[in-house]
Amino acid sequence: MPNRPACALLFFGLAKEFRKTVLPSIREHILAHNRGCDVFAHTYNVSETSNPRNSEAHQKLNVSEVFDLTSNVVMDTEDDFRRARNVAHYRKLFPHKERTWVYPTSMDNMIKQWHSIERVWHLMKSHMVATRKVYQRVGLFRLDVLYVDKIDIASGAHANVPLRNTLGSYMNDRLFYGTYQHAKTWATRRFSQADTYVKGTSQGRANGLHSEEFMAFLMRDVRPATQSLCFHRVRAGGQILCDCRCSDRGTVQREHMERFMSWFRLG
């Protein structure tokens, strides 16, 4: 694609139902519109996952499928993560007023997501040092969602987040794309600013370390533009949890379901 600035696509988190469900949507809605971008990923080297909030109990994972996306992959074990992050400290900041969160699992998983984001960022940085490449646009995306909208990280504002869950004191924390400098703020300053937010703001003192509230604080000087991007959460085991453009019963709309089923048959 002519005149496209040097760009990088960074993927993070647990790879769930990746080859069958998630990767086809990444190829169609992200890779196809960002040709020439370098691709990096971080995930966890685990064989199963359990999360009562997601109705996941010892669901099997095949994290090696991430290599279908890119060879630029770094993985951490659970022990690697525990050595790097003081999970007990962050549990003290748990947002107990958030009724949809489950203690301590929800906090632990948020910190794992933060760690994964920072790890894939540093993987990209190592590549930049080795190649002397300077990225002008960077996108950061989860490995466990099904994308249904075109995402071109060269378009939009200097900083972009999904419209869903971005309102007032909340900012969506699942996806970002924009300039290198604003992506750096989104990706690398969570751990350094978490205590400042909880101890130094009235909202943090009252509500604890709630992810969307904290992101609005973290990006307050950047003020990202909101984009109408739809994607659905994928659970280990194959369930797709509709997040947008849903029917009254919270199911995926027919046109999206037909596309999902065609991907399953191809898989």
Q: Which residue has the tokens 């194959």?
A: 238
Say which DSSP state 265 is in.
H
- Looking at domain 7-266, its CATH class is alpha beta
Q: What is the pTM of this model?
A: 0.90
Please report the pLDDT score of residue 247 as a whole number: 59
Residues 6+ apart with CB under 8 A from 53: 100, 101, 102, 105, 106
Which helix (H) or strand (E) is 26 found in, with range? Answer: helix 23-29
Model confidence at 267: pLDDT above 70: no
Which strand ranges, in their side-by-side order, compose the sheet holding 145-147?
Answer: 145-147, 231-234, 240-241
Strands 7-12 and 38-44: parallel
Please report the pLDDT score of residue 259 as a whole number: 44
Please report the pLDDT score of residue 57 as a whole number: 63
CA–CA dist 31, 47 (Å, integer): 27
Residues 6+ apart with CB under 8 A from 29: 147, 148, 149, 150, 151
Please report the pLDDT score of residue 263 as a whole number: 39
Model confidence at 46: pLDDT above 80: yes
Where do the structural domains in the chain lie, given as residue ranges? 7-266
SS3 (DSSP) at 151: coil
Model confidence at 117: pLDDT above 90: yes
Residues 6+ apart with CB under 8 A from 79: none
CA–CA dist 267, 262 (Å, integer): 9
Please report the pLDDT score of residue 5 as a whole number: 85
Quick: pLDDT tens for 54-103: 766 678 889 999 999 999 999 999 999 999 999 999 999 999 998 889 99
Please report the pLDDT score of residue 262 as a whole number: 44
First-to-last alpha carbon distance for the chain, in angstroms, is 29
In this predicted model, which residue has the larger pLDDT, 164 or 217?
217
Model confidence at 6: pLDDT above 50: yes
Say which DSSP state 178 is in.
E
Average pLDDT over residues 231-254: 72
SS3 (DSSP) at 117: helix
Confidence at 182, pLDDT banded by 50, 70, 90: very high
- Closest CA relative to residue 40, chosen from 177, 146, 139: 139
Among the ranges given (43-52, 90-99, 113-122, 194-203), the one the predictor scored with the smallest mean pLDDT: 43-52
Which helix (H) or strand (E) is 142 found in, with range? Answer: strand 137-142
Confidence at 249, pLDDT banded by 50, 70, 90: very low
Residues 6+ apart with CB under 8 A from 100: 53
Please report the pLDDT score of residue 154 as a whole number: 96
Q: Mean pLDDT over all residues of the chain? A: 89
Quick: pLDDT tens for 201-241: 999 999 999 999 999 999 999 999 999 998 998 998 888 88
